[in-house]
Amino acid sequence: MPSLPDMATPEAERLAQEAAQPADPHITDVALKPALFDWLCRMGDGALILGHRTSEWCGHGPALEEDIALANTALDLIGHAALWLELAAEVEAQGRTADDLAYLRDAMRFRNPQIVELPNGDIGRTLMREFLYDAWHYEMLLKLRDSSSPRVAEIAAKAGKEVAYQLDRASDLVIRLGDGTEESHARMQAALDHLWPYTGELFTDDAVDEAVAEAGIAPRASELQGPWDATLREVMGEATLTVPDRRADVHLGGKQGRHTEHLGYILAEMQFLQRAYPGAEW
Amino acid sequence: MYAQMVKSEAADGEQTPEDRAFQARIDRGEKIEPKDWMPEGYRKTLIRQIGQHAHSEIVGQLPEGNWITRAPTLERKQILLAKVQDEAGHGLYLYSAAETLGVSRDELFEKLHSGAMKYSSIFNYPTLTWADMGAIGWLVDGAAIMNQVPLQRTSYGPYSRAMIRICKEESFHQRQGYSIMMKMAGGTPEQKEMAQDALNRFWYPSLMMFGPSDKDSVHSAQSMAWKIKINTNDELRQKFVDETVPQAEYLGLTVPDPDLAWNAGRGHYDFTEPDWTEFFDVLKGNGPCNEERLGARVKAWEDGAWFREGLSAHAEKAAARRLAAE
Ligand SMILES: [Fe+2]
Ligand SMILES: [Fe+2]
C-alpha cells in the first residue's frame, strides 16, 4: 500500500500546477475540442516524429560536433512534442497522458505532415528536411505567440527560441554545403528535389486549420506560405541551389492521418515496449 | 575504466637531469602543461591513454544509442538521448586534451578505424533489453567513475581538467541508470527478469573494465610514477565491487557470483575474478559486437567525408571572397 505522502503528493502537485496555468477558456471549449485536439496533435506529432528521426543520428554523425548538434535538435523537438501532447491530452480530457498519445496511438491517429516521417537519407537530406521544416516551424511559432490561447502562446514562446536557433543552424549548413564542393552541391540539390513535393502539405488548409484560425488560436496553414517562401528563396539563393519547378503539394494527407509507409515502422520501433508490456511503468 | 592495458613507455636508459627535474615536479604535485618540457615516453603514453579513453566515449555512444528510438516514455527518451550526447561531449573534451600533446583528432580516428588503437572492451557487448540502459548507467558509468575520480588529480593539466568536467556528468549518468534499474527491479515480473538478466550479462564485463589483475599488468609502475595512473587495477576493481554489491542488494537483484561474500577480516568482499580469456578475446576483436561497433564508426566517418569536405571547401571559398573584397 502506498504511504500517505505518496498518495497526496501528485495531487498536490497537480493542483499547484493548475493554479499556475493562465486561464484559457479554449482548453475547455466543448465545441472546439475535436479541432483543437487534432491541431495540437499536429504540432506535437510533427515535433515528435522529426525528433525521433533526428535522434537516429546519435552516434553516427559525420563529425563529433554535428553528432552533438543533431542530438540537441532531437532533444529540443521531443521536448516540444511533450508540451504539445500534454496540452492535447488535457484538451481531450479522457484521462490520457502525453505518453499515451505518443506510444499508444496507431498511424492513422498521427497528425504529422508526411515530410517528417521520411527516412533520414544522407546527412544532406536530413539537414535539408530540417531546414524546410524549421523554416515553417519558426514562422508558425512566431505567429502563435499572439495566439488567443495563452497556453498555446506559452508553449510557442518557449519552443520558438529553440527553433530560431535550429533554423539558423540548418540554414547555415544548407548554404555551406550547397556552395561547397561539386559533390556536396549535387547532394543538397538532390535532397531539395526529393523533399520538395512534400512541402506543400505544410501550407494546405483544411477544416481543422479553419476552426482554430476562426478561434484566433493559430494562423491558417496557407498564411505561412509567404514568409516561408521568402526564407527559402534567400537561403537557396545563397546556397546556389535551385528551387524545383514542380508542384510542391504532391504528397498530402499526413495532417489528416494518411501517411507514407514509413510511419508504421517508426511507430513499431518507438512504441515497442509500451505495446509489448501494457501497463508497465518505466 | 575506459583505458585498459595502455602500454606505458618505459624510460629508456639512463635518466637525464631533465627527466629527474620532471619527475620532481610531478612528485611535488605540480601540473604539467602543454608547453612544458616532458619526456617523450610521458607524451606518448598519455596520447595512448587519452586517445583510448576518447575512443571509448564515442564508441560507447553506440550500445546505448541502440535504444534511443525504442525508449519507453518521452521522458526516458530525452534522458537517454541527453546521456548519449554527453558521451559525445566527453569524446570531444578528450580529443581536445590529446590535441594539446600534438596529435590531431583525425589522426586518432584513423588509428581507431585501422584497429591500431583500442577502446574499452565493455562496448563490445550487446544491449538486448531496456534494462541494459539501466545496467550500463549503473555499472559501466559507475566503473568509469571509479577510475576517473582519481584521474582528476592526474599530472597532465588538460587531462585533469577534462576529467573534472566529465566526472560531474558521469555521476549523473550513474544515478539515472540506477533509477531505471529501480523501476525495472520493482516492476512487473518480466521487468524484474530483464533487470536480473542485464546484471547477469554486464557484471563480469564491468569488472573487466579495470583491466587485468595487477600481477599481469606490466606497465603500471612507470604510469603510476608519472601520475597518469593513480590506483592499481585491482584496487579499483575491489572498490567497485564493495560499492556495487549493496546497491544490487537494495534492488533485490543477485550478483551472478556464487562465491561473493563479505570478508570481515579484509573489510572487503571476496569475489570471483572475471574470465580473463574472454577479456583478451574481446580485446583481440572476437567479442560479440566488435565488428558492428567499429564498423558503425568507420561507416559514420566515411559517409561523412563529403560533408566535411563540403564545409572546408565553403570555408576556403568564403575566405577567398573576403580577400577579393578587400
Ligand atoms: Fe562518458
Ligand atoms: Fe557516462
Please tell me the total count of domains within chain A.
1
3-state secondary structure at position B262: strand
- Model pLDDT, residue A4: 42
Q: How many A from CA of B272 to the centre of ligand 2?
A: 26
**Residue A73 falls within a domain, yes or no?**
yes
* Predicted confidence (pLDDT) per residue in A217-256, tens digit: 999 999 999 999 999 999 999 999 999 999 999 999 999 9
What pLDDT band is residue A6 in, cutting at 50, 70 and 90? Answer: very low
**Residue A177 falls within a domain, yes or no?**
yes
Cβ distance A184 to B306 less than 8 Å, yes or no, reads yes
* Predicted confidence (pLDDT) per residue in B176-196, tens digit: 999 999 999 999 999 999 999
CA distance linking residue B169 with residue B165, whole number of Å = 7
Domain containing residue A75: CATH number:
1.20.1260.10
Pick the residue of A6, A49, A55 with the most B CBs within 10 A to test the interface with B by mutation: A55
Residue A1 has pLDDT above 50, yes or no: no
Residue B8 has pLDDT above 80, yes or no: no
Provide the residue type at B217 as one letter. S
Helices B233-251, B157-185: crossing angle, 10 deg rounding: 30
**Residue A10 falls within a domain, yes or no?**
no
Which ligand sits closest to the CA of B90?
Answer: 1
Cβ distance B130 to A282 less than 8 Å, yes or no, reads yes
**Residue A179 falls within a domain, yes or no?**
yes
Q: How many A from CA of A173 to the centre of ligand 2?
A: 29
Cβ atoms within 10 A of the Cβ of A34, count?
A: 14
List of chain A residues whose C-beta atoms are within 8 Å of the C-beta of residue B188 = 277, 279-280
**Residue A129 falls within a domain, yes or no?**
yes
* Predicted confidence (pLDDT) per residue in A30-62, tens digit: 999 999 999 999 999 999 999 999 999 999 999
* Predicted confidence (pLDDT) per residue in B290-307, tens digit: 999 999 999 999 999 999
How many CA within 13 A on the CB side of residue A146? Answer: 7
**Residue A254 falls within a domain, yes or no?**
yes
- Model pLDDT, residue A2: 35
Q: How many A from CA of A188 to the centre of ligand 2?
A: 35
Average pLDDT, chain A: 94
Cβ distance A282 to B73 less than 8 Å, yes or no, reads yes
- Angstroms from A82 CA to nearest CA on chain B: 7
CA distance linking residue B213 with residue A132, whole number of Å = 56
Of B95, B190, B305, the CB nearest to A277: B190
**Residue A1 falls within a domain, yes or no?**
no
Predicted TM-score (pTM) of the model is 0.94
Q: How many A from CA of B231 to the centre of ligand 2?
A: 20
- Model pLDDT, residue A5: 39
- Model pLDDT, residue B12: 59
* Predicted confidence (pLDDT) per residue in B20-71, tens digit: 999 999 999 999 999 999 999 999 999 999 999 999 999 999 999 999 999 9
Cβ distance B191 to A66 less than 8 Å, yes or no, reads no
Which carries the bigger pLDDT value, residue A183 or residue B213?
Answer: A183
Cβ distance A272 to B70 less than 8 Å, yes or no, reads yes
Q: Tell me the residue range of the domain where A199 lies.
A: 30-276
Residue A8 has pLDDT above 50, yes or no: no
**Residue A239 falls within a domain, yes or no?**
yes
- What is the average pLDDT across B85-97? 98
3-state per-residue secondary structure call for chain A: CCCHHHHHHHHHHHHHHHHHCCCCHHHHCCCCHHHHHHHHHHHHHHHHHHHHHHHCCCCCCCCHHHHHHHHHHHHHHHHHHHHHHHHHHHHHCCCCCHHHHHHHCCHHHCCCCHHHHCCCCCHHHHHHHHHHHHHHHHHHHHHHCCCCCHHHHHHHHHHHHHHHHHHHHHHHHHHHHHCCCHHHHHHHHHHHHHHHHHHHHHHCCCHHHHHHHHCCCCCCHHHHHHHHHHHHHHHHHHCCCCCCCCCCCCCCCHHHCCCCCHHHHHHHHHCHHHHHCCCCCC
Are B141 and B205 within 8 A, CB to CB? no
